[in-house]
Amino acid sequence: VGSITIKDVAAKADVSIKTVSRVLNHEPNVREETRVRVLAAVDALGYTPNFAARALAGSRAYLIALYGDNPSPSYIGDVQSGAMSTCRNAGYHLLVEQIEDGDATRRTVEASLSAVRVDGVILTPPVTDRREVLDALDERGVPYVRIAPAENLDRGPYLYIDEEQAAFDMTSHLLSLGHRRIGFVKGHPDHSAARLRHSGYGKAMRKAGIEVDASWVEAGDFSFRSGALAAERLLALPDRPTAIFASNDDMALGVMSVANRMQLSVPRDLSVAGFDDSPVTQVVWPQLTTVRQPISKMAAEAAQMLIYGAESGPLGRLLEFELIVRGSTAPPAGA
Amino acid sequence: VGSITIKDVAAKADVSIKTVSRVLNHEPNVREETRVRVLAAVDALGYTPNFAARALAGSRAYLIALYGDNPSPSYIGDVQSGAMSTCRNAGYHLLVEQIEDGDATRRTVEASLSAVRVDGVILTPPVTDRREVLDALDERGVPYVRIAPAENLDRGPYLYIDEEQAAFDMTSHLLSLGHRRIGFVKGHPDHSAARLRHSGYGKAMRKAGIEVDASWVEAGDFSFRSGALAAERLLALPDRPTAIFASNDDMALGVMSVANRMQLSVPRDLSVAGFDDSPVTQVVWPQLTTVRQPISKMAAEAAQMLIYGAESGPLGRLLEFELIVRGSTAPPAGA
DNA sequence: ATGAAAGCGCTAACAC
DNA sequence: GTGTTAGCGCTTTCAT
């Protein structure tokens, strides 16, 4: 319908459309007085440049794509709101694409890429580690930023937190409360994050001069059930741990559930800590002590890098995590 | 970069670009033989029409917008994957916009609308009920479909489930197991869904010839904590319920948590049912019996309606819910 | 510092 | 049935 176009603005400001374009794109060679006049016209008319026209004519598409998979993870919302806020401020828009794993992955990406020109792509786990996707992107020369990748760290810029340090800090938190026998539930062996978290736990224990008994460390796979199974073994130990640190929140809830069943009160008889600060930390009592990743911020920065260009530097950009201490951790009963 | 355009296809198929356009848009008046030749050329070249150009020139933008707010709710993923699947099949793309509540709401919508022409908008709760948004959309004449709206049901097409019937069915499930004293935890009074679920519970009880004792129904606000508080009162009753139906999953988890603390085993001593089938149903043991809304399907249908046009009919389109019976409900101990 | 003209890749009217 | 010609609303050259 009769939308207002650049022509209307030009007419109102009594300049050519090119000058309007210059002002809007912050190009040089515009007299301040003219600039003000144009801006006033834009404001008066409530003009917003048509995004399709810009994309067609210019070199930028004003569009950032967000690639994700099966959107069950709770962080998808955080990712989106982070990316969105940057985009909005920059006049960009966010296109979401679901990249399913399977034979068609590569074709999906290529179809998307050739149909709509985007200025960059944000990759979220687990797509962040999908080789075919990186390949397709590289071939087309489409810039991308990866969020929390686990592999191929040489393939383009990415954002991450120091998982090992976070696990170290959480373990130190438990140690500082007075715990000595601290159990650990490992994550899924395929995830590099699982390895790093385990290693952080070990380092903190060693630093405190505590020798980790092999029976204190149980395997897990990031699921509630695996956490529960691990807890059953840990809490059956003759000299059972006074605290259990699970590599993610779901498993920590599994631990709490078993503790309840065994009539151990959390945190009086057992402290429990998780990792991720997912929404499930709110559906237990006491609420779960955990580590929060700055997911939203990561996404915002990723968009930033794509829109304004990444200042050169190391490929990986480290962001701060946050220890969230809630009711599930406390000094051990004897303390 | 030198992307392949409609001209390349036209040259290869030895027809005019208009004919290519006709084939691609399924317009009539193309000889079958020509059609095949064009399609072959498209395939050989791996051609995909440029989306910005189509949007600029044509009447369709090949773009559907998804309006949501603070994307914490677990269903955002479901919504997106549903909408996405329809879009992908139709050659459309999905643009997500975050519409925050507040003074700027209306301006946000208008800015988005004037910057990018979309063929339609899918509204998810709570934006689905935001009046300013509906107004802005109506003014621009942009079609929209609302998902599970609670108010202003005369304002355009929407998709919903029969919340009352679902609650009726869940209550009937508990009754059929042999429960008679069934407690109920209400949802947040501002949500119309809360009212409907409560009413469904009442109807089922009455139909079974059971008079609902006022002490069996407790207030809640959809939060874990409110569910726990309600359970404390319900389970302290002299003749306590053998089953508790909470209006959503978070509250049901609150109920389970209190039951555990009181050393009541679920489902042996107490059956617990929820509503929503959110991911938290998986982080308890036993897993929660609940009601699943076809969120993903709703979104897919919404996109369908926007892309292919809604066949006229009633504004509201009813979809089927599903009773998910898991381990948290069983016959009462005495049965 | 500003403007005129030429497209970007496609669809919409019309011609044929 | 098929092709021709204008644009869609902008950004790019390239003049001035």
Put simply, the answer to whether B71 touches A81 (Cβ < 8 Å) is yes
What Å value separates CA A233 and C1' D4?
80
What Å value separates CA A50 and C1' C15?
31
Q: Does the pLDDT value for residue B323 go beyond 90?
A: yes
Average pLDDT over residues B73-79: 78
CA neighbor of A104 nearest in space, from A76, A78, A133? A133
Residue with more model confidence, B198 or B261: B198
**Amino acid B159: pLDDT:** 96
- Residue A48 is nearest to which of B56, B114, B280, comparing CB atoms? B114
pLDDT, tens only, B104-132: 899 889 888 888 889 999 999 889 989 99
Nearest chain A Cα to B282, which residue? A224
Q: Kindly give the residue spans of alpha helices, DSSP state H, lying in B91-152.
A: 105-115, 131-140
Q: Is A97 helix (H, G, I), strand (E, B) or coil?
A: strand
Instruction: Choose, out of B64, B251, B283, B290, the residue to mutate when testing the contact with A (most A CBs < 10 Å).
Output: B283
**Amino acid A114: pLDDT:** 80
What Å value separates CA A32 and C1' C9?
36
Among all chains, which residue has been given the structure tokens 């691609």?
B24
Which positions on chain C have an atom < 7 Å from some protein CB?
Answer: 1-13
User: What pLDDT band is residue B73 in, cutting at 50, 70 and 90?
Assistant: low
Put simply, the answer to whether A52 touches B117 (Cβ < 8 Å) is yes
Distance between start and end Cα atoms, chain A = 73
Per-residue pLDDT of chain A (335 residues; tens, 9 = 90+): 468 899 999 999 999 999 999 999 998 888 999 999 999 999 999 898 998 999 999 888 999 999 988 655 667 888 998 999 999 888 899 998 888 888 889 988 988 888 888 999 999 988 998 999 999 999 988 999 999 888 889 999 999 999 999 999 999 999 999 999 999 999 998 777 899 999 999 999 999 999 999 999 999 999 999 999 999 999 999 999 999 999 999 999 999 999 988 989 999 999 999 999 988 898 898 999 999 999 999 999 999 999 998 777 788 999 999 999 999 999 998 76
Q: How do strand A322-324 and strand A290-292 relate by DSSP bridges? A: antiparallel
B97 and B112 in contact (C-beta within 8 Å)?
Answer: yes
Distances in whole angstroms, Cα of residue A244 to Cα of each of A194, A303, A330, B29:
16, 37, 12, 71
CA A114, chain centre distance (Å): 27
CA neighbor of B108 nearest in space, from A329, A260, A129, A93? A93
A185 and A232 in contact (C-beta within 8 Å)?
Answer: no
**Amino acid B1: pLDDT:** 47
Which residues of chain B have a CB within 8 Å of the CB of A116? 51-52, 93
Which tokens sit at A259? 């503790």
A197 and A275 in contact (C-beta within 8 Å)?
Answer: yes
Nearest chain B Cα distance for residue A210, angstroms? 32
**Amino acid A206: pLDDT:** 98
What Å value separates CA B29 and C1' D3?
13
The fraction of chain B above a pLDDT of 70, given in percent, is 98
One DSSP character per residue, A144-186 reads EEEES--S-TTSS-EEEE-HHHHHHHHHHHHHHTT--SEEEE-
Distance CA A257, CA A332 (A): 19
Q: How do strand B243-246 and strand B217-218 relate by DSSP bridges? A: unpaired
pLDDT, tens only, B180-210: 999 999 999 877 789 999 999 999 999 999 9
Nearest chain B Cα distance for residue A256, angstroms? 10
What Å value separates CA A56 and C1' D6?
18
Distances in whole angstroms, Cα of residue B108 to Cα of each of A76, A304, B209:
22, 20, 52
**Amino acid B72: pLDDT:** 54
H or E segment to which residue B272 belongs: strand B271-273
CA neighbor of A8 nearest in space, from A43, A59, A53, A36? A43
Which positions on chain D have an atom < 7 Å from some protein CB?
Answer: 1-13
Put simply, the answer to whether A74 touches B74 (Cβ < 8 Å) is yes
H or E segment to which residue B85 belongs: helix B75-90
Nearest chain A Cα distance for residue B115, angstroms? 5
Q: Does the pLDDT value for residue B228 go beyond 50?
A: yes
**Mean pLDDT, chain B, whole residue set:** 92
- Residue A71 is nearest to which of B46, B72, B81, comparing CB atoms? B81
Q: Which nucleotide is nearest to B10 (CA to C1')?
A: D3
Residue with more model confidence, B242 or A192: B242
User: Could you say which DSSP state residue A96 is in?
Assistant: E
Which residues of chain A have a CB within 8 Å of the CB of B228? 285
Which tokens sit at A48? 């917003």
Give me the residues near strand C, CB below 7 A: A 15-19, 22, 28-31, 33-34, 53, 56-57; B 3, 5-7, 17-18, 20-21, 24-25, 47, 49-50, 53-54, 56-60
B119 and B303 in contact (C-beta within 8 Å)?
Answer: no
**Amino acid A312: pLDDT:** 74
H or E segment to which residue B98 belongs: strand B93-98
Nearest chain A Cα distance for residue B218, angstroms? 19
Specify the range with the lowest mean pLDDT, choosing from A115-129, B59-73, B270-284: B59-73
Q: Is B67 helix (H, G, I), strand (E, B) or coil?
A: strand
What Å value separates CA B18 and C1' D2?
8
Tell me which protein residue sits closest to nucleotide D5, measuring alpha carbon to C1': B18
Nearest chain A Cα distance for residue B251, angstroms? 8
Which residues of chain B have a CB within 8 Å of the CB of A141? 1
Give me the residues near strand D, CB below 7 A: A 3, 5-7, 17-18, 21, 24-25, 47, 49-50, 53-54, 56-60; B 14-19, 22, 28-31, 33-35, 53, 56-57
